[in-house]
Amino acid sequence: MFGNKKSNNQVLIDMAQKQKRYEALVHVYHKELYRFAYWLCRDPHIADDLVQETFLRAWRSLDSLLDQKAAKSWLLTILRRENARRFERKQFDYSDIEDELLVDESSHSLDDEMEQTVIQRQIALLPDEYKEPLLLQVVMGCSGEEIANILDLNKNTVMTRLYRARNQLKEALSRDDEQLKGASK
């Protein structure tokens, strides 16, 4: 009656193969995706959520991943889009409370800030157009071509942005170094 339909056994075999592919992706890329997510948001809980949502979307569209060599770029693209969706969904609560009654309990103390390395702080200060390619290269180990695919840019544009990001970082670190030397005199 249903000649074109797959048999129940074939469906089960296909699902088992999909499950194995998915588990392999999670096993291989989970730590790298978490590291990149953490760099993007600086919050371990949000990073966990981003990675979980990334893998959920990956499961749903796993059949669209035809080239296993492109899996890392594919997952990073999903993660970046999930991070962007986070801001699209953000709803701000407004209140009629007077500003003078508000207490800032979320600010980090000086001690918390000192835990971060100088390089991490300087990278975070870079404009997104330079920060993202630099993080993809340094943290994720992506090539210029992979970064171009993930960010949907020309490879030459990516290489220029990487060059400018490194120069801006070098200048900022030099300024910090000079300030430290001046303070110690």
CATH number reported for the structural domain that contains residue 22 in this entry: 1.10.1740.10
CA 34 – CA 31 distance, rounded (Å): 5
Q: What is the mean pLDDT of the chain?
A: 79
Q: Look at residue 87 in the predicted model and tell me its pLDDT.
A: 78
User: pLDDT-based confidence at 65, cuts 50/70/90?
Assistant: confident
Which CATH number does the domain housing residue 166 bear? 1.10.10.10
Q: Look at residue 13 in the predicted model and tell me its pLDDT.
A: 82
Among 13-22, 31-40, 69-78, 91-100, the minimum mean pLDDT is found in: 91-100
Residue 36, both tokens: 């990149």
Give percent above pLDDT 70 in the chain.
76
For 74, residues 6+ apart whose C-beta sits below 8 A from its C-beta are 58, 65
User: pLDDT-based confidence at 117, cuts 50/70/90?
Assistant: low
Q: Does residue 17 register a pLDDT over 90? A: no
| Same domain assignment for residues 32 and 91 | yes
| Same domain assignment for residues 15 and 74 | yes
Give the total residue count for the chain: 185
Select the highest-mean-pLDDT range: 11-15, 47-51, 76-80. Answer: 47-51
Q: What is the pLDDT of residues 124-145, one digit of tens each?
A: 888 989 988 998 888 888 889 9
In a domain, 23, yes or no: yes
Nearest to 71 by CA among 53, 56, 58: 58
| Same domain assignment for residues 20 and 85 | yes
| Same domain assignment for residues 139 and 89 | no
Domain count, the chain: 2
| Same domain assignment for residues 148 and 80 | no
Q: Which residue has the higher pLDDT, 159 or 91?
A: 159
User: pLDDT-based confidence at 165, cuts 50/70/90?
Assistant: very high
- CA torsion angle 152 157 162 163 (round to 10): 180
In a domain, 111, yes or no: no
Provide the H-helix boundaries in the chain: 8-41, 44-60, 71-89, 110-115, 118-125, 128-138, 144-151, 155-184
Nearest to 147 by CA among 85, 93, 69, 72: 72
Last residue of a domain, one of 68, 96, 124: 96
- Per the CB < 8 A criterion, the answer to whether 105 and 139 are in contact is no
| Same domain assignment for residues 65 and 144 | no
Nearest to 164 by CA among 135, 136, 126, 110: 126
CA 134 – CA 150 distance, rounded (Å): 13
In a domain, 131, yes or no: yes
Residue 167, both tokens: 């120069």
CA 26 – CA 91 distance, rounded (Å): 31
Q: Does residue 19 register a pLDDT over 70? A: yes
Cα 103 → chain centroid: 31
DSSP 126: S
Q: Does residue 111 register a pLDDT over 90? A: no
Domain that holds residue 160: 116-184
pTM, two decimal places = 0.58
